[in-house]
Structure formats: structure tokens, C-alpha cells
Amino acid sequence: MDRCISQLATDGNNRSRQITDELASSSPNTASRSVCSPQSIDNQLSTNPASQNNLPVCIASPHVTASPATEVSFPTGQNEGGGLVLEGGSSLSAHSTLAIDFLDRVAGADRRKGYEFETRELLDSLRQIVHVTKAQSLHAGGLFSFARPSAPLRPKPATMPPIKVAAAAIRSAEDRRLITWLFLSVLLGSKSLSDICLKVYFSEDFSDAEYIILNIALYCFFRDDTPEEPEAPENYREEYKLSCQQNLETALSGLSLHIIPSHDMTLALLSGAIYAIELSQPSMAWTLVLAAYQGAHFLGYHTRKPGSSAWCDTSSNSGLLFWAIYFLEKTLCLRLGRCSTIPDFEITVPFPGGSPAMDYCRNMVKLATLAGKIYEKLYSAQALISLNKDGAFRVMTLSQELDAIHEQSQNAIVSCQ
């Protein structure tokens, strides 16, 4: 490595330009980005001061390619749950990857010119260090090295409803197409609630998220007066509903501050937020939905996937999960008098659509966006300063948007019938 860097330094400014040109021509993806060295920038400024306004753009991530007709992608890795972890172009890991790839290409260019440097093994080691560091950052142990390991949640036989009762409740909810069953079936994707039920009851490797999802589902099924199992004791619904409620609240209260993001955990946190709203605990719902949003953002659910369709439908469970979080967060903002933590300019995932039901969901997303605007334009600190000046105009504009969303929602409901 020392010899490689020394060679770069002694080659001077012409050498830097030559290597940069060779790198740009050797990779098809580099046509849409510029890789700059400090030497080349200094030379350009010294030889032509007027060129300061035309400097090449230096992009931190080697994976970022942008053109008017293409999507921008960011470096990703896989978390423990198998989901993609999104990292922006300004992240430290993106800078590390850029530096390693740059040295790799420089060494390759030198080898083609007859220079022999033993850098391959070193570069592979550097890549491995970056990979291991990123993997460690996903575990709480990487943050709290002296923390005692906590035992994972395991239901005792007496704390869960009998398996026959749970299976009957799930089967009845599926037959009756209960809203909770539909909600979870769409957002779970390839999994099914029955699969999670069998895993929790008969396996030792289920996750906390699966435990939460099953208990909140059974709680809702028992609450919605599922038909009684013939062999079950009298008034079993209240007993089993209370049992699932206790399991759910125990699991939610025992979650770590550092949660490893996964699709199941994000869905579990969202379900917990909906449960908290049902209990009239908006502050708890706010805490849970913020954690759900952080997980969804970490997994890149707010971004458009390459090759995705124009609308987000039931085939995109990650996109619909994000929009469900978005709706809950924006509406809670107005209820609690807080500004939203979800910036609209970061969202590129398509809106729900493609069917009458998804069209209605799209209108609910628009309603959530409007709720965020209402707080921003009428209740935020900046808005209150100038409210007397143009407050009436703001109210009228927002009211017109609300009327338009209401009309579109009514049309979508008629189409669903």
C-alpha cells in the first residue's frame, strides 16, 4: 500500500489525470459520475481560476449513478432478517467503499502498465473490515458491550391460548375476511399468519416480532367475537383475549431501545402503534410508529425499487407497509401537536393504486399528507407568527384540498361496491 501511494504521489498531476481518464473509460457505470482527486482540482484552479464554477462533481458513493432517466441507487447490505439496509451516499461506509474501489482501480491501471504491486490481498482485507464493521453495527452488542444478554421472549404453555382455539380463531377470521386478517395477510407477504402460529407454538427459534404479531392478531380476533370453539370453556373469549393482551404488552414493553430492523419487526411495531391508539394512548403510539418508521427507512421501504410498477399494490408489501406507517405518523402529528418526522422529499416509492381498493388507500395517503400540511401551515411556531396576516387564505386552500380528497374517496368507495 505504501508503494502504491508513493507511486501516485511521485507521478504528479499528469499521472492523476491519466489514471482518472482510464478509470472512466474502463467502467460502463462511471459515465454518469466523476471521480476527483485533490491534485486534479488544485491544478484546475491554479491554471484556470475561471473554472471554479465548472468543477466536476465528486460523489461519495461509488454505487450512486444518476441521469435524467434513471433511478438513483445507494449502497446496501443485508441485515440479520434478510432485508436490505439502505445507506445514503454521504455515509461513512460509502466513503470507505469509494476509497477501496478507487485504490483497486488504480492498482489495476498500474498493473496494465507493467507496475506490480502486492495490493490485492490488502484490498480484500480492507473490504472485509468494512463488511464486518457494518454487520456489527446491526447488533445491540456492538453498542453496549457490557450489557448482559436478555433472554428472548418464550411463551409459557399457560400464557397462550390452546393451539386448537388459536387455529380456530385464525381460520374463522380468514373465512369472515376480518380487517385485521386482511391487513396482516397483505403486509406479511410470503408468510402467513398460520405459519407464524405454528412457529410460535412448536418451534424454539421464533422472533420477538413474530410473537408480537401473533398475539395482536389473536387479541383482535377474540375481540371481534370469533365463533366459539365447541370444546372451549364458557366465556373463553374474554379470558383468551386478556391473555393475548398481556403477552402483547409484555413483549412491547420489553423491546430494546436498539432494535435490529427487519420487515417483521417493522410490522410488529406498526401493529403495536395501532393497538395503542385503540387504547387511547397516542403518546405510546407515537413512540412505536417512530420506531417503525426508522426501521422502514433503514430498510429503504420509502424508495422506489428498480423495475417497480407505476403503482404500489398488494404485490409490494414493503411499499404498503411504509404507506401505512406514513398515514399513522402524519395523522398522529396533528393529534399530538408535533411536526412530522417523515420528510416528503425523501419518498420515491409509488403511491398505492391499480385497483379500486388501492385507489382508496391512495386517497388516505393524500389525507395524511394534508394532515401534515395542516400542522405546518396552521399550528407550527412559524405559522402562528404570520397567522393573522394570511391565515384565512391558508385555511381556505387546505379546505379545498380536503374537499377534493373527500370527493375522490367517495368515488373510490363506489367503485369498490
CA-CA distance, 342 to 138, in Å (whole number)?
Answer: 22
For 341, counting Cβ atoms within 10 Å of its Cβ (0-12 exposed, 13-18 middle, 19+ buried), the class is middle
Which pLDDT does position 412 carry in this prediction?
Answer: 77
Contact by Cβ (8 Å): 383, 341: no
Q: Count of CB atoms within 10 A of residue 49's CB?
A: 8
Q: 187 near 321, Cβ under 8 Å?
A: yes
- Residue 105, helix vs strand vs coil: helix
Is residue 298 within 8 Å of residue 218, measured between CB atoms?
no
Which residue has 492498482 as its cell numbers?
107
DSSP 91: S
Output Rg (C-alpha) for the chain, integer angstroms.
Answer: 27
Q: What does each of the 417 residues of the chain score in pLDDT, given as a tens digit?
A: 454 444 444 444 444 455 445 544 544 443 333 334 444 434 444 444 444 444 333 333 333 333 333 343 444 444 444 444 555 554 556 667 777 777 777 777 666 666 555 666 777 777 777 666 665 555 544 555 555 665 555 555 458 899 999 999 999 999 998 999 999 999 998 889 999 999 999 988 899 999 999 999 999 999 886 555 554 555 677 889 999 999 999 999 889 888 889 999 999 999 999 999 998 888 899 999 999 999 999 999 998 887 767 677 666 788 999 999 999 999 999 888 889 999 999 999 988 877 888 888 889 999 999 999 999 999 888 988 888 888 899 999 999 999 999 988 888 787 766
Distance CA 250, CA 253 (A): 5
pLDDT at 42: 43
Question: Residue 54 carries which DSSP code?
Answer: G
User: What is the C-alpha separation between 196 and 210, in angstroms, rounded?
Assistant: 6
The DSSP secondary-structure symbol of 350 reads P
Bridge partner residues of 34 (DSSP): 58
Going by the DSSP 8-state scheme, the letter that residue 35 receives in this structure is -
How many whole angstroms separate alpha carbon 197 and alpha carbon 200? 5
Distance separating alpha carbons of residues 351 and 349, to the nearest angstrom: 7
pLDDT of residue 154: 53
DSSP output for 198-258: HHHHH-S---HHHHHHHHHHHHHHHHTTPPPPTTSPTTHHHHHHHHHHHHHHHHHHT--SS
Q: Are 314 and 186 in contact (CB under 8 A)?
A: yes
The SS3 of residue 78 is: strand
